[in-house]
């Protein structure tokens, strides 16, 4: 690994041995093209422009370690653009809502040259009722002349606009001083840790979801109705398993299951999606007695797209004979290659067979999902792997991996900084080796590549 133009120190400093210390999070929100990514790069001290190499990665929320005046915090780059699925305005507002719930301070970025758009105003309206501190950044104030445009943003009702030029660095010092002034020393409670872990129990109709939640609820005789310090959403079920409470999201309806045929498949699918998004880990129930179907795979891709940890539970195992078992193994090899990393439990919600085995599988999946590999260790390892198996040449040149960092957890997200494009096959190879080395059973792992422009 060679020294490079990246400010490696910004990534490495203070991380080794300190990764357990919780630091506060700064969320960056705003509509597309106002300069959020440029500002994030500026904050984390990466002076070189970088381009995203992998389509889709910008949709995820990625957090970076940052350090200003000796204080550490995380910067969360909220990508999250699905302008097709819902309107832009709604999408940005949702991003802001999410930041209000999870971040310790929020930065709203507005393009001062363009001025406040209807979308900016809509988001400002949301943020005005935020209890989390909000800093308004008027970006693209590259020179004195644009200052007056920045002043016009007082109209958003979020206090003083901090004029900044993310590309040139103008005004960023004052802005970062203000960040430190409003950012608490420690992260807010109840975000990362604390409270029962959230599980989504998902699968196609009739696979046994209600039966399983009923079984689990009765299992240790103790359905927990109230856990100290938690307010239970009435649609969730708190279930004690393996000596601790788990929150099964959006399952209260399943436990009673008054009308079986309630709602279309469309609504069922929306509901499944919502449950997955609210959860940290999903148990995907698959009917082991029948062939794996398109519907199973659809739910599976919802879990994968959401980046949640996963446990595969093959239900109705009491109906599985020798022949069926043989067929099932073949189906699993064929249909579930994408999630070879997921742990598998063969259960019967009907008889209760092996239902307790769900607990260790959930725990493994969640600990993988939360895992952080220290930057130093990651780079030592990747240097060895690349030396033994270099990436394929591109256009007669060998792409170099200059630096790797785990940019985020939940799920573990790695960013490789390279001098050239890495082919998908090689990225998959690296992911495989990463899993072998560090162990991420039960969790998806994301690897993105940033190529120097």
Our CB check for ligand GDP shows the closer of 188 and 353 to be 353
Q: Is the four-CA dihedral 273, 82, 449, 175 of positive or negative sign?
A: negative
Here's the x/- map for ligand GDP, 220-259, by CB under 6 A: it reads as ----------------------------------x-----
Residue 160 interacting with ligand GDP (CB under 6 A): no
With CB under 6 A as the contact rule, the residue among 36, 198, 308, 446 that binds ligand GDP is: 36
96, exposed or middle or buried, with CB in 10 Å at 0-12, 13-18, 19+?
buried
Our CB check for ligand GDP shows the closer of 206 and 222 to be 206
CB 192 within 8 A of CB 155: no
With CB under 6 A as the contact rule, the residue among 46, 96, 102, 140 that binds ligand GDP is: 140
Pairing of strands 446-452, 50-52: antiparallel
346 is known to lie in a ligand binding site:
no
Give one word for 203, left, alpha or beta, with left for phi > 0 and alpha for psi -120 to 50: left
Residue 295 interacting with ligand GDP (CB under 6 A): no
Residue 319 interacting with ligand GDP (CB under 6 A): yes
CB of 32 to ligand GDP, least distance (A): 4
With CB under 6 A as the contact rule, the residue among 27, 29, 34, 299 that binds ligand GDP is: 34
420 is known to lie in a ligand binding site:
no
Neighbour order of strands in the sheet with 197-202: 237-241, 244-248, 197-202, 281-287, 309-315, 343-346
CA distance 135 to 332: 50
Phi, psi of 143 (to 5 degrees): -150, 175
CB of 371 to ligand GDP, least distance (A): 28
Our CB check for ligand GDP shows the closer of 35 and 412 to be 35
With CB under 6 A as the contact rule, the residue among 324, 350, 371, 433 that binds ligand GDP is: 350
With CB under 6 A as the contact rule, the residue among 166, 239, 345, 362 that binds ligand GDP is: 166
317 is known to lie in a ligand binding site:
yes
Q: Which helix (H) or strand (E) holds 94?
A: helix 88-102
Is residue 103 classed as helix, strand or coil in its secondary structure? Answer: coil
With CB under 6 A as the contact rule, the residue among 63, 237, 315, 343 that binds ligand GDP is: 315
Residue 139 interacting with ligand GDP (CB under 6 A): yes
Our CB check for ligand GDP shows the closer of 165 and 379 to be 165
With CB under 6 A as the contact rule, the residue among 99, 207, 249, 278 that binds ligand GDP is: 207
Stretch that binds ligand GDP, among 32-40, 59-67, 121-129, 367-375 (CB under 6 A): 32-40
Strand partners, 66: 73
CB of 8 to ligand GDP, least distance (A): 22
Q: Which residue has the tokens 């999201």?
A: 249
Our CB check for ligand GDP shows the closer of 270 and 319 to be 319
Cα 431 → chain centroid:
17
CB 47 within 8 A of CB 67: no
With CB under 6 A as the contact rule, the residue among 205, 242, 263, 425 that binds ligand GDP is: 205
Report in angstroms the alpha-carbon separations of 75 from 6, 9, 281. Answer: 18, 16, 24
CB 211 within 8 A of CB 205: no
CA distance 285 to 200: 10
Q: Please state the residue numbers annotated as binding site for GTP.
A: 30-37, 77-81, 139-142, 203-210, 250-254, 315-318
Residues of this chain that bind ligand GDP (CB under 6 A): 30, 32-38, 139-140, 142, 165-167, 203, 205-211, 254, 315-316, 318-319, 348-350
């Amino acid at each position: 690994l060679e020294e490079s133009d990246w400010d490696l120190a910004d990534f490495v400093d203070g991380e080794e041995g300190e990764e357990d210390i919780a630091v506060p999070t700064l969320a960056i929100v705003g509509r597309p093209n106002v300069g959020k990514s440029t500002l994030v790069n500026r904050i984390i001290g990466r002076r070189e422009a970088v381009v995203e190499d992998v389509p889709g990665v910008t949709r995820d929320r990625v957090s970076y370690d940052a350090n200003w005046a000796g204080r550490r915090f995380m910067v969360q780059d909220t990508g999250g653009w699905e302008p097709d699925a819902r309107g832009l305005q709604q999408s940005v507002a949702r991003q802001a809502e999410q930041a209000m719930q999870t971040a310790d301070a929020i930065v709203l970025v507005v393009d001062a040259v363009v001025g406040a758009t209807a979308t900016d105003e809509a988001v400002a309206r949301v943020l005005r009722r935020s209890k989390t501190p909000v800093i308004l950044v008027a970006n693209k104030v590259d020179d004195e002349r644009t200052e007056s445009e920045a002043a016009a943003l007082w109209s958003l009702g979020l206090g003083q606009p901090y004029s900044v030029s993310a590309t040139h660095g103008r005004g960023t010092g004052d802005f970062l001083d203000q960040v430190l002034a409003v950012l608490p020393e420690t992260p807010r409670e109840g975000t990362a840790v604390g409270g029962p872990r959230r599980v989504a129990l998902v699968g196609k109709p009739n696979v046994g979801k209600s039966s399983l939640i009923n079984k689990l609820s009765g299992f240790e005789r103790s359905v927990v109705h109230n856990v100290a310090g938690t307010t239970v959403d009435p649609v969730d079920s708190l279930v004690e398993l393996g000596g601790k409470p788990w929150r099964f999201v959006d399952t209260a309806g399943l436990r009673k299951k008054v009308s079986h045929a309630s709602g279309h498949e469309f609504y069922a699918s929306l509901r499944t999606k919502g449950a997955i998004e609210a959860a940290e880990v999903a148990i995907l129930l698959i009917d082991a007695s029948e062939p794996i179907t398109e519907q199973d795979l659809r739910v599976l891709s919802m879990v994968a797209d959401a980046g949640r940890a996963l446990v595969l539970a093959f239900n109705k195992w009491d109906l599985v004979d020798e022949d069926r078992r043989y067929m099932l193994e073949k189906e699993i090899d064929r249909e579930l290659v994408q999630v070879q990393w997921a742990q598998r439990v063969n259960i019967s919600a009907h008889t209760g067979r092996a239902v307790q085995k769900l607990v260790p599988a959930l725990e493994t999946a969640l600990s993988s999902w939360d895992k952080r590999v220290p930057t130093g260790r990651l780079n030592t390892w990747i240097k060895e792997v690349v030396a033994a198996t270099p990436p394929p040449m591109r256009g007669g040149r060998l792409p170099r991996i200059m630096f790797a960092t785990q940019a985020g957890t939940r799920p573990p997200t790695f960013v490789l900084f390279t001098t050239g494009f890495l082919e998908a096959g090689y990225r998959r190879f690296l992911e495989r080796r990463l899993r072998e080395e560090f162990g991420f059973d039960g969790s998806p792992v994301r690897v993105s590549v940033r190529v120097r422009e």
